[in-house]
A and B are shown apart, each in its own frame.
Chain A
């Protein structure tokens, strides 16, 4: 299996994640997009690791990313819950208090 196809898959996944982040209105959906982008990155890391010979740096790093992503998801979801309690909505278009 060549690396190109794996990288293309990662790029495709990243783009889909980005598209989700940018286009969806719901904050939860945006978080899902972010997860997708993280996993695209993980895919890249693992892919490069496969062609790296005897070292496992990429895979280890991917594990760290997954850990951090879990933590991030926990914090982000907590924020979303608080935001929902405060604004009674999770629609990002309506949560724009910080506009100039």
Chain B
């Protein structure tokens, strides 16, 4: 099979204009909004609205099609061709809609949220850049381009997390996010290199086709294909196949905040709240899961196991961490990590559809939660005056907000019910699907993998608990702020946000009802499952994971009832526990405002997120600092010493050369000038200036010449 027959440049397709529009409009917003002052929010939102319309048009036009590829030549070096390719399939369409929809709502929300920020033009420009980067990942079907946009996502998240860079903590958080992502990206890059070494192309379609054609012989992974008419036979140890998958997954570990790189995400809460909504729902953390989906079919059994384990661990760890936070955004951040863990777990167990389904449902309800939380923070911020300063994100100053902000309460509650996995809301559908597929996969695998199931189900309980703990603490009981501030200060009344804050939240809350996806309580019956199906693994036989498709449907049916029952019971148990502990008047609720740093091992583990930050600081950071100090010493003493020695040697040589130059070379020059001068001195008297003398001399020579000529 010739590689050039797989990677074919497609004929002109007008679709390219729509794709360029999708990428161009947010980019235009980035370039123009920064220069506008007052009108930037409106302009950027209008552009994003136009982009959403383009996405909707494309969705209508291409819904249900097999997927359209557009490929063109990018450049070539020698006979190595580099192509770019776009791929519009069902998944890309859904992602386009979700990303554009949530980005638009975030823009809209930000109009009010950032109204008084002097730098809002920059803010809206960066939102455009963020959207542009994410759409690039969604649209391109070429790992190199995905990597480029992947980095752009990293950059724009860095710029937005550090948007309030005057705050030390914000710029540190931005650095942390960027560095953690870089570590993951290193893995991505390694994966790219392995795949390129084997297949000599970055085109995903090419990689997939060549993966089918590759084979495993004697433990070696062999790819045989023709390139420009010549047979190429690349052979790598079979383990590189797993390594490629795991390395690419490392990229997702960074972007999608998986264990062990997830520590950047809670810190990323330093950015403006709408940005958090965007990062958590549509543009950044989704990129990792989406990337796994794109490379899903070339992952082998071992890579998938790693992915599943990492996902389960992340889901559980973050859920535990969310139990005891004071900061409302921190709770949401940990819940995001936890839900991303579910998605990654789903990918790992081969539940492609379920994972992506959760990605979409989570995008809706998590954006809704963040925007509602943003409303609360924004409205609380209005109460702040010169004399009263308080942490507007701290749940200890909230409480009883249901009376003041009923609208926000309902939006938040609906999204929270979806997060907790209560039947009737989207979160239930997708989480249930993941749990079911996980259960089936583990039954097939057996052995030690049962701990994944335990973690996954434990996370259901914890999720419901921390979600309702948050709801009880924020919305029920009495408003605690007046007791915390000076009695003499009269606070302005707290009220719901205006239309800019309400509309996005309510749209996202509506999107959290399971009705959006279908009437049934079973994920399999939703339209999402109709349009996106589990693909078949393309990895050569001995390395391929078993596919969930191969398992008889009866088995799913058999487990489904059990899984649903257990997950509902666990979710309700979490709800009830939260109610008992944090309902108004309960012991934990009354002591909550006085709570400070937690005491006791388990509480601290939860509050400090398993001491992961401390561990990194104590071990890795310390080690790196030690290394760098040692390297500095080495640099200073050894390298600089060497350089200094060379410099000294140079000086000595220079002195020798100077002596030679002064005495020998200059000696010659001086000798020449001396001789010339002497000769001049000797002959100068001939030029007496006496005209008559010259005539005499001329005459004498004339006579002499005549004598010589004539005789």
Binding site for B on A (CB under 8 A): 18, 21-23, 30, 92-93, 95-100
Q: Is A96 within 8 A of B695, CB to CB?
A: no
**Cα–Cα distance between A100 and B684 once the two chains are bound (Å):** 5
Which of B683, B688, B696 makes the CB contact (< 8 A) with A99? B688
B675 at interface, CB cutoff 8 A: no
CB distance from B41 to the nearest CB of A (A): 89
**Cα–Cα distance between A95 and B691 once the two chains are bound (Å):** 9
For chains A and B in complex, what number of residue pairs have CB atoms within 8 angstroms?
A: 33
CB distance from B218 to the nearest CB of A (A): 99
CB distance from B692 to the nearest CB of A (A): 5
Other contacts beyond A22-B696, A96-B688: 4, CB < 8 A: A18-B699, A22-B695, A95-B691, A99-B688
Which residues of the partner chain A approach B687 to less than 8 Å between Cβ atoms? 98-100
**Cα–Cα distance between A100 and B689 once the two chains are bound (Å):** 7
CB distance from A82 to the nearest CB of B (A): 15
**Cα–Cα distance between A97 and B690 once the two chains are bound (Å):** 9
**Cα–Cα distance between A93 and B692 once the two chains are bound (Å):** 9
**Cα–Cα distance between A30 and B687 once the two chains are bound (Å):** 20
Which residues of the partner chain A approach B683 to less than 8 Å between Cβ atoms? 100
**Cα–Cα distance between A92 and B695 once the two chains are bound (Å):** 13
B686 at interface, CB cutoff 8 A: yes
Which of A30, A97, A98 makes the CB contact (< 8 A) with B692? A30
Look across to chain B and name the residue whose beta carbon is closest to the beta carbon of A18: B699
B488 at interface, CB cutoff 8 A: no
Interface residues on B, range: 10 to 19
B685 at interface, CB cutoff 8 A: yes
Which residues of the partner chain B approach A95 to less than 8 Å between Cβ atoms? 689, 691
Q: Is B695 within 8 A of A21, CB to CB?
A: yes
Question: Which B669-694 residues have a C-beta within 8 angstroms of A?
Answer: 683-692
One digit per residue, 1 when the CB lies within 8 angstroms of any chain A CB and 0 when it does not, for chain B 432-475 equals 00000000000000000000000000000000000000000000
Q: Is B692 within 8 A of A22, CB to CB?
A: yes
Most A CB contacts (10 A, CB to CB) among B686, B695, B699 go to B695
Q: Is B684 within 8 A of A92, CB to CB?
A: no
Which residues of the partner chain A approach B699 to less than 8 Å between Cβ atoms? 18, 22
Which of B689, B695, B696 makes the CB contact (< 8 A) with A98? B689
Which residues of the partner chain B approach A100 to less than 8 Å between Cβ atoms? 683-689
Q: Is B685 within 8 A of A96, CB to CB?
A: no
Which residues of the partner chain B approach A30 to less than 8 Å between Cβ atoms? 691-692
**Cα–Cα distance between A16 and B688 once the two chains are bound (Å):** 24
Look across to chain B and name the residue whose beta carbon is closest to the beta carbon of A34: B695
**Cα–Cα distance between A18 and B697 once the two chains are bound (Å):** 12
**Cα–Cα distance between A91 and B97 once the two chains are bound (Å):** 111
Which residues of the partner chain B approach A97 to less than 8 Å between Cβ atoms? 689
A-B residue pairs in contact (CB < 8 Å), sample of 22 = A18-B699, A21-B692, A21-B695, A22-B692, A22-B695, A22-B696, A22-B699, A30-B692, A92-B691, A92-B692, A95-B691, A96-B689, A96-B690, A98-B687, A98-B689, A99-B687, A99-B688, A99-B689, A100-B685, A100-B686, A100-B688, A100-B689
**Cα–Cα distance between A21 and B694 once the two chains are bound (Å):** 11
Which residues of the partner chain B approach A23 to less than 8 Å between Cβ atoms? 692
CB distance from B688 to the nearest CB of A (A): 5
| Secondary structure of the B contact surface, majority rule | helix
**Cα–Cα distance between A87 and B610 once the two chains are bound (Å):** 109
Which residues of the partner chain A approach B689 to less than 8 Å between Cβ atoms? 95-100
Closest 3 CB pairs of A and B: A96-B689, A99-B689, A100-B687
Which residues of the partner chain A approach B684 to less than 8 Å between Cβ atoms? 100
**Cα–Cα distance between A93 and B690 once the two chains are bound (Å):** 6
CB distance from B617 to the nearest CB of A (A): 89
Q: Is B690 within 8 A of A92, CB to CB?
A: yes
Look across to chain A and name the residue whose beta carbon is closest to the beta carbon of B683: A100
Which residues of the partner chain A approach B695 to less than 8 Å between Cβ atoms? 21-22
CB distance from A77 to the nearest CB of B (A): 16
Which residues of the partner chain B approach A98 to less than 8 Å between Cβ atoms? 687, 689
**Cα–Cα distance between A43 and B699 once the two chains are bound (Å):** 20
Look across to chain B and name the residue whose beta carbon is closest to the beta carbon of A96: B689
CB distance from B574 to the nearest CB of A (A): 116
Look across to chain A and name the residue whose beta carbon is closest to the beta carbon of B693: A22
**Cα–Cα distance between A99 and B685 once the two chains are bound (Å):** 8
CB distance from A87 to the nearest CB of B (A): 12
CB distance from B560 to the nearest CB of A (A): 121
**Cα–Cα distance between A99 and B683 once the two chains are bound (Å):** 11
Which residues of the partner chain A approach B685 to less than 8 Å between Cβ atoms? 100
Look across to chain A and name the residue whose beta carbon is closest to the beta carbon of B684: A100
**Cα–Cα distance between A62 and B138 once the two chains are bound (Å):** 109
Which residues of the partner chain A approach B696 to less than 8 Å between Cβ atoms? 22
**Cα–Cα distance between A98 and B695 once the two chains are bound (Å):** 15
Question: Which B179-218 residues have a C-beta within 8 angstroms of A?
Answer: none
Look across to chain B and name the residue whose beta carbon is closest to the beta carbon of A93: B690
Which residues of the partner chain B approach A22 to less than 8 Å between Cβ atoms? 692, 695-696, 699
Which residues of the partner chain A approach B686 to less than 8 Å between Cβ atoms? 100
CB distance from B557 to the nearest CB of A (A): 124
**Cα–Cα distance between A94 and B688 once the two chains are bound (Å):** 11
Look across to chain B and name the residue whose beta carbon is closest to the beta carbon of A92: B691
**Cα–Cα distance between A23 and B696 once the two chains are bound (Å):** 10
**Cα–Cα distance between A85 and B661 once the two chains are bound (Å):** 54
CB distance from B656 to the nearest CB of A (A): 43
CB distance from B702 to the nearest CB of A (A): 11
**Cα–Cα distance between A30 and B688 once the two chains are bound (Å):** 18
One digit per residue, 1 when the CB lies within 8 angstroms of any chain A CB and 0 when it does not, for chain B 43-62 equals 00000000000000000000
Look across to chain A and name the residue whose beta carbon is closest to the beta carbon of B681: A100
**Cα–Cα distance between A92 and B691 once the two chains are bound (Å):** 7
Look across to chain B and name the residue whose beta carbon is closest to the beta carbon of A97: B689
**Cα–Cα distance between A23 and B685 once the two chains are bound (Å):** 20
**Cα–Cα distance between A47 and B371 once the two chains are bound (Å):** 130
CB distance from A98 to the nearest CB of B (A): 5
CB distance from B681 to the nearest CB of A (A): 9
One digit per residue, 1 when the CB lies within 8 angstroms of any chain A CB and 0 when it does not, for chain B 230-249 equals 00000000000000000000
CB distance from A68 to the nearest CB of B (A): 19
CB distance from B240 to the nearest CB of A (A): 90
Which residues of the partner chain A approach B691 to less than 8 Å between Cβ atoms? 30, 92, 95
CB distance from A95 to the nearest CB of B (A): 8
Which residues of the partner chain B approach A96 to less than 8 Å between Cβ atoms? 688-690
**Cα–Cα distance between A28 and B688 once the two chains are bound (Å):** 21
CB distance from A24 to the nearest CB of B (A): 8
